[in-house]
Structure formats: C-alpha cells, structure tokens
Amino acid sequence: MGKFFNVDLNPDVVAEDISVLIATNKAHTDVAANDIIFNWQAIDVPKGSCMLRSISAIINGEDGAYGSGSLTDYELIFARSVNGVAPPSIGLTNSTGQLCFALRHHYIGSIMLDSVAAKTHVTNLGFHVGLVSGVNPSQDFNSGLPLVIDLEPESGTNVGYDKLYVCGFQLAARHYCTAVTVDGAITSDTATTITVADMDATKIFSKGDTVYLHDVDTALGTVKSVSATSIELNAAIAGGTDLADDDELVNANPIKIKLGFEQ
C-alpha cells in the first residue's frame, strides 16, 4: 500500500484586481460561465511521482446563502514547470482565458468537480460542502481521477518537494460577493479589528483568508480570527486604507480545495 497525504489549495480569486468580483458601487459581478475563476496557483508536493486520488472543496455561497444560485461545476487543470519555467498565464479571473499553445509542454491533466452529482445536502451553513470528484464509481460523469502526477524534480520551494500548478474554470455563472459590510468608519492606521454587520462573517471568512475592500485593489490584510460581527487581522489594516461605514468586504479565498494523493 502506498503513502497517502493531503495538500490544501486556497486559491486567490482576486489577484489584486477587485473589479473582477464587485463593482465600485457594490453591484455584484458574476464570474461568467466557462470563465477563469483562478489563474495558476503553485503548491508543493513531496518529490517523486504520485497519484491524485481525491478532491474535495468547501465553496462560499453567494452573500453567505446556500442555494441553487450558488451551485456550479468547476474544472481544474494541472500543470508542471519545464526547465524551471512555470506554465504560461491563462488570464485573469472572470475572463475567457487566452490561447496558450505552449501549455502543451506543461499540461498534466484536468478534472471536473460536479456540484450536483457529489454535493452534500447541507442547507444551513452558507457554503457548499463536500464537492467531491471521482470517489463514487456509479456516478455518470467522467471525473478524470485518479490522475498520475509526474513533476519536474526539485522544483518545489523547499528541498524534497516538487511544484504542482493548478488553475480553475467555472462552468456556470455566479458571484462571490459577501454582504459582509463595515459597521462604522475606520480611519486609524493602527486598527487591526473591523466590526461588521448585515451578514454573519463566519459564513464567509476564516483564519488565513485575505480580506479586500469592495473598491480598493490592495488587500486589507489576513484574517487572524473571526466572529459573527468582527474580523481581526494579523496586522494593522494595510496601506493606511480608510474604511467607510457600509463598505463591503470581499474574501479573496472563497474556494478551499483539499487534494488527496497517494505515493
């Protein structure tokens, strides 16, 4: 029997351009069907060939509400570096992507996450749980699992690891706005806590998530802790950014993916 291990992937869907998800007037912006939801994200896996056995994900609902409007399928594409060069960019979130003929040298495979065939029927948490692909052979979709992964040796950030690249496409339109708003203006350049209203922040944010303001391209910071009405950051709000009452906060990491490998 092989050795099994999990690797977490928490992709950044903002990539320093908040307008891909929300307008400056706080109008919700759908990521369109078949558009990119996140460009290449690099993760380290233990060196040597391995097999991707399972994928599961937790995905925030629209405005923190679980429902069919938030439900969509995703396609993940896996790639490797070649001679130390990462795969070419496929484009920004909420774009159709660009033709990358050079990708054929980097391409490993692709897998679809089927939101209907594999969803767990949970209706009161505000996010989609157990979006799993390829664990039930009776499903009538071709998930693409298992997938053999063979990466460029010693390409990882740390010794003993190789680097795997993952990008994602969204197969139906939906938005990633939060309805979590600032409760009271903040102008202090030392503030680390944001009081919030209108939506239970625990349905949207968790420790380690990156927080953006709806009309500022610079992240406010990383979540240290969260309650229903408060978000504490690891450090003072970045860039001296002023927060106005009723500004909407956006989570750059609304999709959390767990990849299960065998080696």
Q: Which amino acid is at 122?
A: V
Structure letter (DSSP) for residue 75: E
Q: pLDDT band at residue 99, thresholds of 50, 70 and 90?
A: confident
Give the residue among 55, 67, 39, 45 at the shortest CA–CA distance from 164: 45
Whether 219 and 252 have beta carbons less than 8 Å apart is answered as yes
- Low-confidence winner among 12-16, 25-29, 57-61 (lowest mean pLDDT): 57-61
The pLDDT assigned to 137 comes to: 34
Among 216, 207, 162, residue whose Cα is nearest residue 186:
216
Whole-number Å distance between alpha carbons of 86 and 240? 34
Give the SS3 label for residue 89.
Answer: coil
Contact 188, 230 (CB under 8 A): no
3-state secondary structure of 103: helix
Which residues neighbour 127 within 8 Å (Cβ) at sequence distance 6 or greater? Answer: 58, 59, 60, 61, 66, 203
Mean of pLDDT values over 85-105: 88
pLDDT at residue 129 in the model:
45
54 token code pair: 């399972």
Reported pTM: 0.88
Under the banding of pLDDT at 50, 70 and 90, the label for residue 165 is very high
Per-residue pLDDT for 136 more than 50? no
Q: Look at residue 208 and tell me whether its pLDDT is greater than 60.
A: yes
Judged by average pLDDT, the poorest of 5-9, 158-162, 227-231, 246-250 is 158-162
CB 55 within 8 A of CB 115: no
Q: In whole angstroms, give the CA distance from residue 76 to residue 235.
A: 33
Q: Which sequence spans correspond to the domains of the chain?
A: 4-175+253-262, 181-247
How high is the pLDDT of residue 202? 93
190-203, pLDDT tens digit by residue? Answer: 999 999 999 999 99
